[in-house]
């Protein structure tokens, strides 16, 4: 009777939990803002590039013979500044030719500043202490959108002697924070847009459907429509917002729980393995062993007899080859995992190194027991 009463009490408690909406917590993906999941149509940056000169280097600039374009550029700049150097041989060691790159952000206005990166294109040893001279930066259409100038923050330093050298970082590349001023604006009438598209950075039908539902729920009207796995279209006219900018300000902070594909990413160079949360492994048996081949060369030099007039030293090769098979891992069972923790626990039970684990995961995938996309870098 007591057991029945105890069971009835548990059943009543579970019924109350369901009736009150309280259920045991289930692990779910963390909510992410829409602005972190999509790119807004028309809101993007534009790449800029320019060619210029860096001066003020401490003898670490370009060599004239290997970089003749540096001398020509220097002569052209001096000519424009009113200095006649025709027929003169300029051999400066404190000048370097560089490429200047940067990104013009969306809605950048004339007079605003952007960061730029400076990289050598000749044989300059370092940009430490250098200053970039006025450099126009062009877009893909060939027009000038910004002008860069200023002192360079070098990314490293190098010291070289006759018998040794030390290098920290990359001294031939540097940056200039806020080093370019925007001179031309990109014409784009954002307020005239009647429809707006959201491009998912990781296309997925489930995530796109959740974004559509979240936007329609937040605005309390059907303004969002999923076009495909990577696109959600917004009807600006139906939204009732004063402008597309006001509409985006309402949408970008809406939180959605994105769906991710199950992936296993392997970097063979560093032995790094990354498993996604949805990775599953069916029940399999694994055996792994190590085979070591060792070849040693120990040549023997045979000398001629003493006082021999025709004898010469003779090198006799001696090779010692051996094959060793380590005990490795005996046949072990990896139980099917219903969560990432169970998958990790099963793989760790094998007790192998990360590089051996890469081979095991590859073999499990070939056996059809790894239910995830396997990416090797």
Q: Which residue has the higher pLDDT, 325 or 314?
A: 314
- Name the band, by pLDDT with cuts 50, 70 and 90, for residue 232: very high
The whole-angstrom separation of Cα 374 and Cα 263 is: 6
Do 129 and 195 belong together in one domain? no
Helical residues (DSSP H) of the chain, grouped into ranges:
2-19, 68-80, 205-219, 236-239, 244-251, 340-348, 354-366
For residue 154, the tally of other CB atoms under 10 A from its CB is: 22
Which DSSP string do the residues of 36-69 spell out, in sequence order?
GTEEETT---EEEEEEEEEE--SS-S--TTT-HH
Helical residues (DSSP H) of 81-204, grouped into ranges:
none
Structural domain ending residue among the three candidates 182, 213, 229: 182
Yes or no: say if 114 and 160 are a contact pair by the CB < 8 Å rule: no
The pLDDT value recorded for residue 137 is 95
Do 193 and 173 belong together in one domain? no
Q: How many domains does the chain have?
A: 3
Token pair in block for residue 351 = 């007790």
Direct distance between the N- and C-terminal alpha carbons of the chain, in angstroms, rounded to an integer? 64
Mean pLDDT throughout 230-256? 88
The rounded percent of the chain whose pLDDT value lies above 90 is 23
Do the domain assignments include residue 76?
A: yes
Segment among 79-93, 197-211, 322-336 with least mean pLDDT: 322-336
237-241 contacts at long range (C-beta below 8 A, 24 or more positions apart): 237/194
Mean pLDDT throughout 125-154? 91
Domain range holding 273?
Answer: 263-294+328-376
Do 110 and 194 belong together in one domain? no
Candidates 218, 219, 200, 197; CA nearest to 208 is 200
The pLDDT value recorded for residue 293 is 59
Do the domain assignments include residue 39?
A: no
The whole-angstrom separation of Cα 126 and Cα 98 is: 11
The pLDDT value recorded for residue 17 is 37
The whole-angstrom separation of Cα 50 and Cα 117 is: 10
- What angle, 0 to 180 degrees and rounded to 10, lies between the N-to-C axes of helices 354-366 and 340-348? 120
Do 178 and 51 belong together in one domain? yes
3-state DSSP of 318-331? CEEEEEEECCCEEE
Do the domain assignments include residue 268?
A: yes
For the chain, the C-alpha Rg in angstroms (whole number) is 34
Do the domain assignments include residue 93?
A: yes
Do 176 and 55 belong together in one domain? yes
Do 111 and 198 belong together in one domain? no
Do 97 and 130 belong together in one domain? yes
The whole-angstrom separation of Cα 39 and Cα 243 is: 18
Do 220 and 345 belong together in one domain? no
pLDDT of 11 strictly over 70: no
The pLDDT value recorded for residue 211 is 92
Do 337 and 353 belong together in one domain? yes
Do the domain assignments include residue 306?
A: no
Do 111 and 217 belong together in one domain? no
What digits encode the pLDDT tens for the residues 323-334?
665 565 565 666
Do the domain assignments include residue 308?
A: no
Structural domain ending residue among the three candidates 182, 204, 235: 182
Structural domain ending residue among the three candidates 182, 199, 221: 182
The whole-angstrom separation of Cα 185 and Cα 139 is: 11
Residue 355: CB partners within 8 Å, gap ≥ 6?
A: 271
Do 145 and 197 belong together in one domain? no
pLDDT of 6 strictly over 70: no
Do the domain assignments include residue 196?
A: yes
pLDDT of 63 strictly over 60: yes
The pLDDT value recorded for residue 1 is 43
Segment among 144-148, 206-210, 300-304, 373-377 with least mean pLDDT: 300-304
pLDDT of 204 strictly over 60: yes
Do 144 and 208 belong together in one domain? no
pLDDT of 179 strictly over 80: yes
The pLDDT value recorded for residue 305 is 75
């Amino acid at each position: 009777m007591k057991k029945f009463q105890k069971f009835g009490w548990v059943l009543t408690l579970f019924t109350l939990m369901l009736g009150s909406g309280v259920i045991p917590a289930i692990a779910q993906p963390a909510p992410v803002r829409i602005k972190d999941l999509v790119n807004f149509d028309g809101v993007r940056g534009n790449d800029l590039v320019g060619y210029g000169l860096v001066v003020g280097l401490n003898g670490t600039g370009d060599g004239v013979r290997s970089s003749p374009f540096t001398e020509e550029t220097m002569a052209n700049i001096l000519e424009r500044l009113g200095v006649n150097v025709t027929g003169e041989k300029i051999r400066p060691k404190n000048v370097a030719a560089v490429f200047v790159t940067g990104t013009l952000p969306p809605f950048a206005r004339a007079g605003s500043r952007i960061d730029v990166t400076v990289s050598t294109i000749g044989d300059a040893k370092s940009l430490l202490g250098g200053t970039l001279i006025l450099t126009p930066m062009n877009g893909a259409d060939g027009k000038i959108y910004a002008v860069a100038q200023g002192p360079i923050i070098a990314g490293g330093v190098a010291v070289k002697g006759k018998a040794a050298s030390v290098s920290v970082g990359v001294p031939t590349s540097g940056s200039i924070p806020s080093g370019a001023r925007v001179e031309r604006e990109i014409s784009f009438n954002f307020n005239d847009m009647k429809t707006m598209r959201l491009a998912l950075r990781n296309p997925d039908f489930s995530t796109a459907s959740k974004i559509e539902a979240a936007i329609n729920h937040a605005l309390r009207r059907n303004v969002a429509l999923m076009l495909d796995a990577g696109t959600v279209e917004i009807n600006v006219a139906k939204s009732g917002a004063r402008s597309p900018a006001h509409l985006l300000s309402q949408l970008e902070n809406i939180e959605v729980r994105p769906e991710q594909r199950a992936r296993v990413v392997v970097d063979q160079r560093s032995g790094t393995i990354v498993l996604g949360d949805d990775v599953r492994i069916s029940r399999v048996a694994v055996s792994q062993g190590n085979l070591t081949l060792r070849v040693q060369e120990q040549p023997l030099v045979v000398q001629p007899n003493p006082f021999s007039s025709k004898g010469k030293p003779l090198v006799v090769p001696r090779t010692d080859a051996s094959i060793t098979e380590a005990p490795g891992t005996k046949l072990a069972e990896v139980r099917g995992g219903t969560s990432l923790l169970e998958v990790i626990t099963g793989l760790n039970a094998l007790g192998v190194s990360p590089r051996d684990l890469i081979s095991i995961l590859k073999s499990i995938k070939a056996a059809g027991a790894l239910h995830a996309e396997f990416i090797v870098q």
